[in-house]
Amino acid sequence: MKIATWNINGVRARLEGAVQWLRDAAPDILCFQEIKSEDTNFPREAFGDLGYNIALNGQKGFNGVAILSKVPFDEVSRTLPGDDSDSHARFIEAVFSVRSGALRVASLYFPNGNPPNSDKFPYKLAWMERFAAYAKARLAAEEMVVMGGDYNVIAEPEDARNPAAWVSDALFQPETRAAYRRLLNLGLTDAFRACHGEPGHYTFWDYQAGAWQKNNGILIDHILLTPLAADRLQTASIDKRTRGWDKPSDHVPVVIELDV
DNA sequence: ATGGCTGCAGGATGCAGA
How many domains in chain A? 1
Average pLDDT over residues A62-66: 98
CA-to-C1' span, A63 to B16 (A): 9
pLDDT band at A44 (very low <50, low <70, confident <90, very high): very high
Domain of residue A114, residue span: 2-258
For residue A251, the domain's CATH number is 3.60.10.10
Q: What global pTM score does this model have? A: 0.98
Q: Which nucleotide is nearest to A248 (CA to C1')?
A: B6
Residue A46: what pLDDT? 97
pLDDT band at A20 (very low <50, low <70, confident <90, very high): very high
Residue A60: what pLDDT? 96
Residue A108: what pLDDT? 98
- Do A185 and A135 meet the contact criterion of CB atoms below 8 Å apart? no
Q: Which nucleotide is nearest to A204 (CA to C1')?
A: B18
pLDDT band at A40 (very low <50, low <70, confident <90, very high): very high
pLDDT 10s digits, A226-244: 999 999 999 999 999 999 9
Average pLDDT over residues A150-176: 97
pLDDT band at A254 (very low <50, low <70, confident <90, very high): very high
pLDDT band at A180 (very low <50, low <70, confident <90, very high): very high
Q: What is the mean pLDDT of chain A?
A: 98
Residue A125: what pLDDT? 98
Residue A207: what pLDDT? 97
For nucleic chain B, which protein residues have CB less than 7 Å from any of its atoms? A 7, 9-13, 34, 36-38, 41, 60-63, 111-112, 114, 120, 150, 152, 169, 171, 204, 206-210, 218, 220, 247, 250-251
